[in-house]
Amino acid sequence: MLLLTACGANNEEEIPEVTSETITTLPEEIPEDFDFSLWYGITGANEINTYEGTYTKDLAEGGDVTTELALTNEEMNVIYEQMRSVDILNTPRYVSTTTCVHPYDENHLTMR
């Protein structure tokens, strides 16, 4: 006997509507104090953290390892421009909150 299951619509959370009052954009010029922390992957266990200058890699069953990461000004400018080009501040409305597979991928971004 084979049993197949799938995530139904009832497993998804309602994503709030984005209005003109909540839409913001990144400035054209990269701020002098621009930094970010991006947690991603299964359970959000990997992290690029420019605040602390570190990169953490999840090694699954082997735990994780953190190393120093120093991005150049040019690399930070490229990352910032990519964030601007995808309108990163307004993308949450397109994110699915379905979590029917365990463990599941997570992405968390904080920035200054």
Half-sphere exposure of 5 (CA within 13 A, CB side): 4
Over residues 101-112, mean pLDDT: 76
The set of long-range contacts for 50-58, using a CB threshold of 8 Å and a minimum separation of 24, is 50/76, 51/112
CB 56 within 8 A of CB 40: no
Residue 13 has pLDDT above 90, yes or no: no
Q: How confident is the model at residue 81 (pLDDT cuts 50, 70, 90)?
A: very high
pLDDT given for residue 63 in this prediction: 87
pTM score, whole prediction: 0.68
Q: Are strands 105-111 and 36-42 parallel, antiparallel or unpaired?
A: antiparallel
Domain ranges of the chain: 33-111
Higher-pLDDT residue of 39, 14: 39
pLDDT given for residue 47 in this prediction: 93
Higher-pLDDT residue of 78, 14: 78
Residue 19 has pLDDT above 70, yes or no: no
Q: Other C-beta atoms within 10 Å of 70: how many?
A: 9
What are the strands of the beta sheet with 54-58, ordered from one edge? 64-68, 54-58, 46-49, 36-42, 105-111
Higher-pLDDT residue of 101, 5: 101
Tens of pLDDT along 26-75? 899 999 999 999 998 877 889 999 999 999 998 988 888 999 999 999 99
